[in-house]
């Protein structure tokens, strides 16, 4: 359960990260790419912020995530400058792809009978064995 403080910090980071990442895409001359920050969840000790990104088109997502990861220090510094009056300490950023829309789309296809994972087991993700 997230506290109000965690939610507030997540909201502040989400807004600023969206501005910074969309600005980077625009300045980088990347046409036709849309990045949105779908969620930011902050740990209870406020030291780590998990940032979930929706990237369109999805086939560019992995490549863009690698670029974002390699520039994590610059992004963190920019966000720290923007939030210096709101946050005492800037949490470490951890970027992840938000694949919930793809997941929902696959469920809808299965429900409509378009893709039946029972008949075609190749549609199912490989599960990791513990």
Residue ranges with strand state E in the chain: 34-42, 48-56, 92-97
Domain co-membership, 22 together with 54 = yes
Q: What is the pLDDT of residues 12-67, one digit of tens each?
A: 999 999 999 999 888 887 788 888 999 999 999 999 999 999 988 888 888 899 99
Does the pLDDT of residue 5 top 70, yes or no?
yes
Domain co-membership, 68 together with 83 = yes
Domain co-membership, 89 together with 129 = no
Domain count along the chain: 2
Domain co-membership, 91 together with 106 = no
Domain co-membership, 69 together with 11 = yes
Identify the sign of the CA torsion 104, 108, 109, 110. Answer: positive
Domain co-membership, 75 together with 110 = no
């Amino acid at each position: 359960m997230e506290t109000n403080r965690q939610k507030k910090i997540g909201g502040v980071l989400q807004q600023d990260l969206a501005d910074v990442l969309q600005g980077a895409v625009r300045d980088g001359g990347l046409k036709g790419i849309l990045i949105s920050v779908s969620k930011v969840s902050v740990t209870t000790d406020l030291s780590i912020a998990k940032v979930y990104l929706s990237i369109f088109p999805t086939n560019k997502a992995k490549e863009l995530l690698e670029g974002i990861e390699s520039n994590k220090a610059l992004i963190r510094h920019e966000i720290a400058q923007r939030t210096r009056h709101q946050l005492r300490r800037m949490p470490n950023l951890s970027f992840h792809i938000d694949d919930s829309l793809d997941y929902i789309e696959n469920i809808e296809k299965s429900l409509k009978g378009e893709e039946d994972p029972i008949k075609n087991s190749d549609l199912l993700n490989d599960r990791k064995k513990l």
